[in-house]
Amino acid sequence: MTIDYQLIIEELKPIKIIQEAEKIKQLSLDYYYFSPILEKQLGEKKADLVVIPNTEEDVLKVAQICVKYKIPLTVRGAGTGNYGQCIPLNGGIVLDMSEMKKIKWIKSGVACVEAGIKISVLEKETKKHGWELRMIPSTYKIATLGGFFGGGSGGIGSINYGQLKDRGNLYRVKVITLEDEPKIIELKGDETRQINHAYGTNGIITELEIPLAPSYNWLDVIVTFPDFIKALKFGQELADSDGIVKKLVSIQAKSIVKYFSSLKPYFEKEQDCALLSVDENSLFSLQELVKQYDGEIIYQQNLSNINHVNLIEFTWNHTTFHARNIDPTITYLQTFFFTIEKVEQMYKYFGDEVMMHIEFLRVAGKAIPAGLQLVKFSTEERLNEIIKYHEDNGAFIANPHTYILEDGGRKSIEPEQLNFKKKVDPYGLMNQGKMRSWK
């Protein structure tokens, strides 16, 4: 059935609609191009219309019209996803949630907000009450909270609270369905797993209630080490040091330091290093640990100092971002190593072809190393060989070179997500082509 978009525009009025081709193109894409594989597959995809709702009623109306005319619908937060999660494969409507940004309330340890709020805006407010988010992505300045839960996994703070999908990290959501009669439903506790990291394939999240963490005076610290293995072991011990309050333990091989242009003044030479965020009262204990591993603190800055460089924006996938700014042929992997011995094995095997970047995070109560290694891309075959070698040797790759939900981090669809989709999106209109099991 061909869709008459002029008619749709009339029916959608007075909701804000974008029709300019250039703007539609821009709002149809994300950071898919970090992957040379996705770059080839997705660069030409675009929506027919972008719709920007202001209220839940607007979203309900868009849902009703999409169901009535069977229009594909792709939800967008800020479009900072890395795997083409918010790129529409079959045109249709992109629903840009960025105007749904109200803070409903913040009270001791909990915040309730609309899904399109920028994470940085929310955190600025929670800090006024002595709280901060349990975890944030390195894109926190622009990413939305709905997009983080829809497409992200964790980040700064995951060393304490694990990943977004872990029980207790999301209290409640409101979701709008694409049934014959679209409606607003609420999911609580474990039920929220149905929409977590589901790429917006099974419902439009309009509101979230999230737990918060106590806010600290964070100190950004860079420590250099004589070699990578010392830096790695230091990272594990710091991650395991329950008495040292921290929210970021990022270990970078010296081959990566050349990509950190604005950090260069602090480095005498390229050295293996740790980028950290620790509570300022933990500094003395940190210094003792640094000494134990022959490290040297080359930078420390309180975040309230206006001259500080924001170290967060050199970690997680921002490391890839900086490397690609200098060398656009660089791509990346996402790897759960589970032990530092496994990291060491891969570090020695691949050398500089796979530059080691480790983030420590908590998985089932244990601090483990996960990698966002930089890869000098040559061919797709070689990239697949590198992935296979990791997998054959017991490292788990959450493949960032696919837009298919099942082929990325989870390897299979959660049955609860598929069942939920059957209920809330019976016509399969939401983010078509991303959930293979739907077919």
Ligand X SMILES: Cc1cc2nc3c(=O)[nH]c(=O)nc-3n(C[C@H](O)[C@H](O)[C@H](O)COP(=O)(O)OP(=O)(O)OC[C@H]3O[C@@H](n4cnc5c(N)ncnc54)[C@H](O)[C@@H]3O)c2cc1C
User: In the chain, helix, strand, coil percent, each to 5?
Assistant: 35, 25, 40
Computed on alpha carbons and rounded to an integer, the radius of gyration of the chain in Å comes to 22
- The DSSP letter of residue 306 is T
- Token representation of residue 36: 């040379």
Q: Which of 36, 53, 72, 81 binds ligand X (CB under 6 A)?
A: 81
Q: Which is nearer to ligand X, 224 or 431 (CB)?
A: 431
The least distance separating ligand X from the CB of residue 218, rounded to whole angstroms, comes to 16
Please give the single-letter amino acid code of residue 247. K
Q: Which of 28, 35, 80, 399 binds ligand X (CB under 6 A)?
A: 80
Stretch that binds ligand X, among 9-17, 199-207, 250-258, 414-422 (CB under 6 A): 199-207
- The DSSP code sequence of 321-374 is HHHHHH-TTEEE--EE--SHHHHHHHHHHHGGGEE-EEEEEEETTEEEEEE--E
- Token representation of residue 320: 């890839």
Q: Which is nearer to ligand X, 290 or 367 (CB)?
A: 367
26-62 exposure pattern, b = at least 16 Cβ within 10 A, e = fewer: ebbbbbbbbbbbbeebbeebbbbbbbbbbebebbbbb
- The DSSP letter of residue 233 is H
The least distance separating ligand X from the CB of residue 108, rounded to whole angstroms, comes to 25
Q: Which of 117, 431, 435, 438 binds ligand X (CB under 6 A)?
A: 431
**What is the number of the residue whose Cβ is closest to ligand X?**
147
- Token representation of residue 161: 């609270």
Rounded to a whole number, what is the distance in angstroms from the first to the last CA of the chain? 19
Q: Could you give the string, one character per residue 212-251, with x where binding to ligand X holds by CB under 6 A and - elsewhere? A: ----------------------------------------
Alpha-carbon separation of residue 431 from 5, 30, 73, 75, 89 (angstroms) = 19, 14, 6, 7, 8
# binding residues, ligand X (CB under 6 A): 38
Work out the widest C-alpha separation in the chain, in whole angstroms: 70
Please give the single-letter amino acid code of residue 376. K
Q: Could you give the string, one character per residue 21-60, with x where binding to ligand X holds by CB under 6 A and - elsewhere? A: ---------xx-----------------------------
Stretch that binds ligand X, among 65-73, 200-208, 291-299, 387-395 (CB under 6 A): 200-208
State yes or no: residue 200 binds ligand X (CB under 6 A): yes
Stretch that binds ligand X, among 78-86, 102-110, 215-223, 393-401 (CB under 6 A): 78-86
State yes or no: residue 75 binds ligand X (CB under 6 A): yes
Among residue numbers 100 through 159, which ones bind ligand X (CB under 6 A)?
A: 115, 137-139, 143-144, 146-148, 150-155
The least distance separating ligand X from the CB of residue 417, rounded to whole angstroms, comes to 12
Among residue numbers 321 through 340, which ones bind ligand X (CB under 6 A)?
A: 321
Stretch that binds ligand X, among 73-81, 330-338, 340-348, 383-391 (CB under 6 A): 73-81
Q: Could you give the string, one character per residue 159-198, with x where binding to ligand X holds by CB under 6 A and - elsewhere? A: ----------------------------------------
Alpha-carbon separation of residue 82 from 106, 153, 205, 294, 432 (angstroms) = 30, 12, 20, 36, 17
CA distance 340 to 358: 10
Q: Which is nearer to ligand X, 66 or 86 (CB)?
A: 86
Q: Which is nearer to ligand X, 299 or 321 (CB)?
A: 321
The least distance separating ligand X from the CB of residue 32, rounded to whole angstroms, comes to 10
The least distance separating ligand X from the CB of residue 348, rounded to whole angstroms, comes to 27
State yes or no: residue 373 binds ligand X (CB under 6 A): no
- Token representation of residue 132: 């901060």
Q: Pick the closest to residue 272 from 311, 233, 237 (CA basis).
A: 233
- Token representation of residue 372: 């966002």
Which residues make up the interface to ligand X (CB under 6 A)? Answer: 30-31, 74-82, 85-86, 97, 115, 137-139, 143-144, 146-148, 150-155, 199-200, 204-205, 316-318, 321, 431
